[in-house]
Amino acid sequence: MAVFLLLAGVVVMGYMIFHNIFVKGAVCKSNVKLHGKTVIVTGSNTGIGKMTALDLARRGARVILACRNKQRAEAALADIKRESGSNEVVFMHLDLGSLKSVRSFAETFLKTERRLDLLINNAGIYMQGSTEDGLGMMFGVNYIGHFLLTNLLLDRLKECGPSRVVNVASLGHNFGKIDFNCLSTHKELGVGKSAMDVFNIYCNSKLCNVVFTHELAKRLKDTNVTCYSLHPGIIETELGRYANSVFLMLLKPISMLFFKNSVAGSQTTLHCALQEGLEPLSGCYFSNCTVRNLYPKARDDAVAKKLWEVSESLCGLL
Protein backbone atom coordinates (compact mmCIF):
# COMPACT_ATOMS: atom_id res chain seq x y z
CA MET A 1 0.00 0.00 0.00
CA ALA A 2 2.80 2.39 0.92
CA VAL A 3 4.54 1.65 -2.38
CA PHE A 4 1.29 2.32 -4.27
CA LEU A 5 0.81 5.65 -2.52
CA LEU A 6 4.40 6.60 -3.22
CA LEU A 7 4.02 5.78 -6.91
CA ALA A 8 0.74 7.67 -7.04
CA GLY A 9 2.40 10.68 -5.45
CA VAL A 10 5.25 10.56 -7.96
CA VAL A 11 2.77 10.37 -10.85
CA VAL A 12 0.74 13.31 -9.54
CA MET A 13 3.85 15.39 -8.90
CA GLY A 14 5.21 14.53 -12.34
CA TYR A 15 1.92 15.53 -13.98
CA MET A 16 1.84 18.83 -12.07
CA ILE A 17 5.34 19.67 -13.29
CA PHE A 18 4.42 18.63 -16.83
CA HIS A 19 1.21 20.68 -16.71
CA ASN A 20 2.87 23.86 -15.45
CA ILE A 21 5.69 23.69 -17.99
CA PHE A 22 4.11 22.21 -21.11
CA VAL A 23 0.34 22.68 -20.76
CA LYS A 24 -0.23 25.89 -18.82
CA GLY A 25 2.79 27.54 -20.41
CA ALA A 26 4.08 31.10 -20.22
CA VAL A 27 2.01 34.12 -19.25
CA CYS A 28 1.92 37.53 -20.91
CA LYS A 29 3.85 39.81 -18.55
CA SER A 30 2.90 43.17 -20.01
CA ASN A 31 1.15 45.59 -17.67
CA VAL A 32 0.38 48.10 -20.42
CA LYS A 33 -2.95 49.93 -20.26
CA LEU A 34 -5.00 50.61 -23.38
CA HIS A 35 -7.21 53.57 -22.52
CA GLY A 36 -7.97 55.49 -25.70
CA LYS A 37 -6.98 52.53 -27.90
CA THR A 38 -9.30 50.54 -30.19
CA VAL A 39 -8.87 46.85 -30.98
CA ILE A 40 -10.64 44.35 -33.20
CA VAL A 41 -10.69 40.66 -32.25
CA THR A 42 -12.20 38.31 -34.81
CA GLY A 43 -13.95 35.20 -33.52
CA SER A 44 -14.18 36.70 -30.06
CA ASN A 45 -17.46 35.12 -28.97
CA THR A 46 -15.77 31.99 -27.62
CA GLY A 47 -12.51 30.35 -26.64
CA ILE A 48 -9.19 32.17 -26.79
CA GLY A 49 -10.73 35.02 -28.77
CA LYS A 50 -13.17 35.76 -25.99
CA MET A 51 -10.43 35.58 -23.33
CA THR A 52 -8.24 37.88 -25.42
CA ALA A 53 -11.06 40.40 -25.76
CA LEU A 54 -11.78 40.22 -22.03
CA ASP A 55 -8.15 40.93 -21.12
CA LEU A 56 -7.98 43.88 -23.52
CA ALA A 57 -11.25 45.29 -22.17
CA ARG A 58 -9.87 45.07 -18.63
CA ARG A 59 -6.89 47.14 -19.78
CA GLY A 60 -9.24 49.92 -20.89
CA ALA A 61 -9.36 49.34 -24.65
CA ARG A 62 -12.39 49.87 -26.82
CA VAL A 63 -12.93 46.31 -28.04
CA ILE A 64 -14.77 45.36 -31.22
CA LEU A 65 -16.08 41.81 -31.15
CA ALA A 66 -16.03 40.84 -34.84
CA CYS A 67 -18.14 37.69 -35.03
CA ARG A 68 -20.48 35.82 -37.37
CA ASN A 69 -23.04 34.43 -34.91
CA LYS A 70 -25.05 37.31 -33.48
CA GLN A 71 -26.64 35.35 -30.63
CA ARG A 72 -23.35 33.95 -29.34
CA ALA A 73 -21.61 37.29 -29.82
CA GLU A 74 -24.23 39.17 -27.81
CA ALA A 75 -23.91 36.62 -25.00
CA ALA A 76 -20.12 37.07 -25.05
CA LEU A 77 -20.58 40.84 -25.12
CA ALA A 78 -22.65 40.72 -21.94
CA ASP A 79 -20.10 38.45 -20.24
CA ILE A 80 -17.13 40.63 -21.17
CA LYS A 81 -18.85 43.84 -20.10
CA ARG A 82 -19.81 42.31 -16.77
CA GLU A 83 -16.41 40.72 -16.05
CA SER A 84 -14.31 43.68 -17.22
CA GLY A 85 -16.53 46.44 -15.87
CA SER A 86 -16.17 48.21 -19.22
CA ASN A 87 -18.89 49.57 -21.47
CA GLU A 88 -16.38 50.11 -24.28
CA VAL A 89 -17.12 46.74 -25.84
CA VAL A 90 -19.25 46.44 -28.96
CA PHE A 91 -20.33 43.71 -31.37
CA MET A 92 -20.01 44.14 -35.13
CA HIS A 93 -21.12 41.42 -37.52
CA LEU A 94 -18.36 39.79 -39.56
CA ASP A 95 -18.62 36.59 -41.60
CA LEU A 96 -15.11 35.72 -42.78
CA GLY A 97 -16.60 33.19 -45.18
CA SER A 98 -18.11 36.04 -47.18
CA LEU A 99 -15.92 38.61 -48.92
CA LYS A 100 -19.00 40.83 -49.15
CA SER A 101 -19.39 40.67 -45.37
CA VAL A 102 -15.70 41.46 -44.84
CA ARG A 103 -15.99 44.54 -47.06
CA SER A 104 -19.19 45.61 -45.31
CA PHE A 105 -17.57 45.23 -41.89
CA ALA A 106 -14.53 47.27 -42.91
CA GLU A 107 -16.69 50.01 -44.45
CA THR A 108 -18.88 50.26 -41.34
CA PHE A 109 -15.88 50.22 -39.02
CA LEU A 110 -14.04 52.96 -40.90
CA LYS A 111 -17.16 55.14 -40.88
CA THR A 112 -17.99 54.69 -37.21
CA GLU A 113 -14.64 54.28 -35.42
CA ARG A 114 -11.88 56.87 -35.34
CA ARG A 115 -9.02 54.60 -34.31
CA LEU A 116 -7.57 51.14 -34.85
CA ASP A 117 -4.53 50.24 -32.78
CA LEU A 118 -4.67 46.44 -32.73
CA LEU A 119 -6.10 43.99 -35.25
CA ILE A 120 -6.17 40.45 -33.88
CA ASN A 121 -7.03 37.92 -36.58
CA ASN A 122 -8.06 35.13 -34.24
CA ALA A 123 -11.06 33.38 -35.84
CA GLY A 124 -10.54 29.92 -37.22
CA ILE A 125 -12.50 26.92 -38.36
CA TYR A 126 -11.83 23.21 -38.79
CA MET A 127 -14.34 21.78 -41.23
CA GLN A 128 -14.80 21.04 -44.89
CA GLY A 129 -17.13 22.87 -47.26
CA SER A 130 -17.12 25.99 -49.42
CA THR A 131 -17.64 29.66 -48.72
CA GLU A 132 -20.26 31.70 -50.55
CA ASP A 133 -17.48 32.88 -52.88
CA GLY A 134 -16.61 29.32 -53.87
CA LEU A 135 -13.41 29.12 -51.83
CA GLY A 136 -12.51 26.16 -49.67
CA MET A 137 -14.02 26.80 -46.23
CA MET A 138 -10.80 26.67 -44.20
CA PHE A 139 -8.83 28.55 -46.84
CA GLY A 140 -11.54 31.21 -47.01
CA VAL A 141 -12.24 31.66 -43.29
CA ASN A 142 -8.83 30.98 -41.76
CA TYR A 143 -6.84 32.94 -44.30
CA ILE A 144 -8.46 34.83 -47.20
CA GLY A 145 -11.07 36.59 -45.06
CA HIS A 146 -8.34 37.84 -42.74
CA PHE A 147 -6.09 38.79 -45.66
CA LEU A 148 -8.82 41.02 -47.10
CA LEU A 149 -9.81 42.45 -43.71
CA THR A 150 -6.21 43.37 -42.91
CA ASN A 151 -5.65 45.07 -46.24
CA LEU A 152 -8.87 47.07 -46.00
CA LEU A 153 -7.87 48.36 -42.54
CA LEU A 154 -4.14 48.95 -43.09
CA ASP A 155 -4.43 52.68 -43.77
CA ARG A 156 -6.26 53.22 -40.47
CA LEU A 157 -3.64 51.15 -38.64
CA LYS A 158 -0.91 53.31 -40.18
CA GLU A 159 -2.71 56.51 -39.18
CA CYS A 160 -2.93 55.36 -35.56
CA GLY A 161 0.55 53.88 -35.21
CA PRO A 162 2.41 52.46 -33.56
CA SER A 163 -0.05 49.65 -34.16
CA ARG A 164 0.04 45.88 -34.58
CA VAL A 165 -1.53 43.03 -36.54
CA VAL A 166 -1.59 39.65 -34.77
CA ASN A 167 -2.37 36.51 -36.79
CA VAL A 168 -3.32 33.42 -34.79
CA ALA A 169 -1.87 30.47 -36.69
CA SER A 170 -0.96 27.01 -35.40
CA LEU A 171 1.92 24.62 -34.90
CA GLY A 172 0.13 22.69 -37.63
CA HIS A 173 1.61 25.06 -40.20
CA ASN A 174 4.76 22.92 -39.99
CA PHE A 175 2.83 20.09 -41.69
CA GLY A 176 1.31 22.35 -44.34
CA LYS A 177 2.09 23.13 -47.94
CA ILE A 178 0.79 25.66 -50.45
CA ASP A 179 -0.19 24.03 -53.73
CA PHE A 180 -0.76 26.86 -56.20
CA ASN A 181 -2.00 24.45 -58.88
CA CYS A 182 -4.71 23.25 -56.51
CA LEU A 183 -5.59 26.84 -55.67
CA SER A 184 -5.87 27.69 -59.33
CA THR A 185 -8.03 24.67 -60.12
CA HIS A 186 -10.19 24.31 -57.01
CA LYS A 187 -9.79 27.59 -55.08
CA GLU A 188 -8.79 25.31 -52.24
CA LEU A 189 -5.61 24.18 -50.50
CA GLY A 190 -6.24 20.47 -51.00
CA VAL A 191 -8.77 17.87 -52.03
CA GLY A 192 -10.21 14.83 -50.31
CA LYS A 193 -12.60 14.20 -47.44
CA SER A 194 -10.78 11.73 -45.21
CA ALA A 195 -9.76 12.74 -41.70
CA MET A 196 -6.15 13.08 -42.84
CA ASP A 197 -7.16 15.16 -45.86
CA VAL A 198 -9.11 17.56 -43.64
CA PHE A 199 -6.20 17.82 -41.21
CA ASN A 200 -3.79 18.54 -44.06
CA ILE A 201 -6.01 21.28 -45.48
CA TYR A 202 -6.28 22.87 -42.03
CA CYS A 203 -2.49 22.83 -41.71
CA ASN A 204 -2.19 24.33 -45.20
CA SER A 205 -4.46 27.22 -44.20
CA LYS A 206 -2.35 27.88 -41.12
CA LEU A 207 0.82 27.89 -43.21
CA CYS A 208 -0.86 30.62 -45.27
CA ASN A 209 -1.31 32.66 -42.06
CA VAL A 210 2.40 32.42 -41.26
CA VAL A 211 3.56 33.11 -44.83
CA PHE A 212 1.16 36.06 -45.03
CA THR A 213 2.67 37.52 -41.85
CA HIS A 214 6.17 37.15 -43.31
CA GLU A 215 5.21 39.04 -46.46
CA LEU A 216 3.12 41.63 -44.61
CA ALA A 217 6.10 42.55 -42.45
CA LYS A 218 8.18 43.21 -45.56
CA ARG A 219 5.47 45.45 -47.02
CA LEU A 220 5.12 47.32 -43.72
CA LYS A 221 8.82 48.05 -43.42
CA ASP A 222 9.48 51.71 -42.58
CA THR A 223 5.88 52.15 -41.38
CA ASN A 224 4.69 52.27 -37.78
CA VAL A 225 2.73 49.01 -38.13
CA THR A 226 4.21 45.65 -37.12
CA CYS A 227 2.81 42.13 -37.38
CA TYR A 228 3.26 38.73 -35.75
CA SER A 229 1.98 35.17 -36.14
CA LEU A 230 1.68 32.63 -33.36
CA HIS A 231 0.77 29.18 -32.11
CA PRO A 232 -1.60 29.54 -29.12
CA GLY A 233 -1.06 25.98 -27.89
CA ILE A 234 -3.32 22.97 -28.19
CA ILE A 235 -6.58 24.33 -26.87
CA GLU A 236 -9.33 22.26 -25.26
CA THR A 237 -11.93 21.36 -27.97
CA GLU A 238 -10.19 23.73 -30.42
CA LEU A 239 -10.23 21.21 -33.27
CA GLY A 240 -13.25 19.23 -32.09
CA ARG A 241 -15.80 22.01 -32.22
CA TYR A 242 -17.44 20.68 -35.38
CA ALA A 243 -16.69 17.00 -34.82
CA ASN A 244 -19.30 14.37 -33.99
CA SER A 245 -20.39 13.72 -30.41
CA VAL A 246 -18.54 10.39 -30.12
CA PHE A 247 -15.25 12.06 -31.04
CA LEU A 248 -15.85 14.83 -28.52
CA MET A 249 -16.68 12.30 -25.79
CA LEU A 250 -13.44 10.40 -26.45
CA LEU A 251 -11.42 13.62 -26.63
CA LYS A 252 -12.71 15.14 -23.38
CA PRO A 253 -10.56 13.19 -20.86
CA ILE A 254 -7.43 13.82 -22.94
CA SER A 255 -8.18 17.51 -23.41
CA MET A 256 -8.77 18.04 -19.69
CA LEU A 257 -5.34 16.62 -18.85
CA PHE A 258 -3.15 17.78 -21.71
CA PHE A 259 -4.75 20.74 -23.51
CA LYS A 260 -4.61 24.41 -22.51
CA ASN A 261 -7.75 26.18 -21.37
CA SER A 262 -8.82 29.38 -23.10
CA VAL A 263 -7.10 31.70 -20.63
CA ALA A 264 -3.74 29.94 -21.06
CA GLY A 265 -4.34 29.77 -24.80
CA SER A 266 -4.75 33.54 -25.07
CA GLN A 267 -1.38 34.39 -23.49
CA THR A 268 0.80 34.30 -26.60
CA THR A 269 -1.76 36.37 -28.51
CA LEU A 270 -1.65 38.95 -25.70
CA HIS A 271 2.15 38.84 -25.65
CA CYS A 272 2.32 39.62 -29.38
CA ALA A 273 -0.30 42.34 -29.03
CA LEU A 274 1.07 44.07 -25.92
CA GLN A 275 4.66 43.23 -25.06
CA GLU A 276 6.91 46.25 -25.29
CA GLY A 277 9.93 46.11 -27.58
CA LEU A 278 8.70 43.53 -30.11
CA GLU A 279 8.91 45.91 -33.09
CA PRO A 280 12.28 44.53 -34.35
CA LEU A 281 10.64 41.09 -34.49
CA SER A 282 7.91 42.10 -36.94
CA GLY A 283 7.04 39.15 -39.17
CA CYS A 284 8.22 36.59 -36.64
CA TYR A 285 6.37 33.56 -35.30
CA PHE A 286 5.78 33.01 -31.58
CA SER A 287 4.85 30.10 -29.36
CA ASN A 288 4.56 30.09 -25.56
CA CYS A 289 5.31 33.84 -25.55
CA THR A 290 8.67 33.22 -27.21
CA VAL A 291 9.87 33.84 -30.77
CA ARG A 292 10.50 30.58 -32.65
CA ASN A 293 12.44 29.62 -35.74
CA LEU A 294 10.48 28.84 -38.89
CA TYR A 295 11.12 26.15 -41.46
CA PRO A 296 12.30 27.57 -44.82
CA LYS A 297 8.88 26.95 -46.44
CA ALA A 298 7.27 29.38 -43.97
CA ARG A 299 9.67 32.22 -44.81
CA ASP A 300 10.19 31.64 -48.53
CA ASP A 301 10.12 35.11 -50.13
CA ALA A 302 9.06 33.85 -53.57
CA VAL A 303 6.19 31.75 -52.18
CA ALA A 304 5.09 34.61 -49.92
CA LYS A 305 5.02 37.07 -52.81
CA LYS A 306 3.08 34.65 -55.02
CA LEU A 307 0.56 33.88 -52.26
CA TRP A 308 -0.01 37.60 -51.77
CA GLU A 309 -0.62 38.13 -55.49
CA VAL A 310 -2.99 35.14 -55.73
CA SER A 311 -4.82 36.36 -52.64
CA GLU A 312 -5.22 39.85 -54.10
CA SER A 313 -6.72 38.33 -57.22
CA LEU A 314 -9.16 36.13 -55.27
CA CYS A 315 -10.23 39.13 -53.17
CA GLY A 316 -10.58 41.49 -56.10
CA LEU A 317 -7.94 43.86 -54.73
CA LEU A 318 -5.97 44.10 -58.00
Active site residues: 202
- Banded pLDDT at 18 (limits 50, 70, 90): very low
Query: If you average pLDDT over residues 226-247, what whole number do you get?
Result: 71
CA 1/CA 7 separation, integer angstroms: 10
Query: If you average pLDDT over residues 36-58, what whole number do you get?
Result: 98
Residue-averaged pLDDT of the chain: 90
Range of the structural domain that residue 198 is part of: 35-233+261-315
pLDDT, residue 235, reads 81
DSSP SS3 for 241: coil
Please check whether residue 243 lies inside any domain of the structure: no
pLDDT above 80 (res 252) = no
Per the structure, the count of domains in the chain is: 1
pLDDT above 70 (res 239) = no
Following DSSP, what letter does each residue of 68-83 receive, concatenated?
A: S-HHHHHHHHHHHHHH
Q: What is the pLDDT of residues 56-69, one digit of tens each?
A: 999 999 999 999 99
Please check whether residue 182 lies inside any domain of the structure: yes
Please check whether residue 311 lies inside any domain of the structure: yes
CA-based nearest residue to 268, from 16, 19, 18, 30:
30
Q: What is the pLDDT of residues 129-185, one digit of tens each?
A: 999 999 999 999 999 999 999 999 999 999 999 999 999 999 999 999 999 999 999
Please check whether residue 17 lies inside any domain of the structure: no
pLDDT above 80 (res 251) = no
pLDDT, residue 146, reads 98
Query: If you average pLDDT over residues 264-270, what whole number do you get?
Result: 97
Please check whether residue 252 lies inside any domain of the structure: no
DSSP SS3 for 97: coil
pLDDT, residue 253, reads 52
CATH of the domain at 215: 3.40.50.720
pLDDT, residue 15, reads 40
pLDDT, residue 318, reads 77
pLDDT above 70 (res 85) = yes
Other beta carbons within 10 angstroms of residue 107's beta carbon come to 11
Burial per residue of 193-232, b for 16 or more beta-carbon CB atoms within 10 angstroms, e otherwise: eeeeebebbbbbbbbbbbbbbbbbbeebeeeebbbbbbbb
DSSP SS3 for 15: helix
pLDDT above 70 (res 2) = no
Q: What is the pLDDT of residues 108-128, one digit of tens each?
A: 999 999 999 999 999 999 999
Q: Torsion angle, CA of 74/76/82/84, rounded to 10 degrees?
A: -130
Q: What is the pLDDT of residues 191-233, one digit of tens each?
A: 999 999 999 999 999 999 999 999 999 999 999 999 999 999 9
Query: How large a percentage of the chain has pLDDT more than 70?
Result: 85
pLDDT, residue 16, reads 42
Please check whether residue 251 lies inside any domain of the structure: no
Please check whether residue 15 lies inside any domain of the structure: no
Please check whether residue 239 lies inside any domain of the structure: no
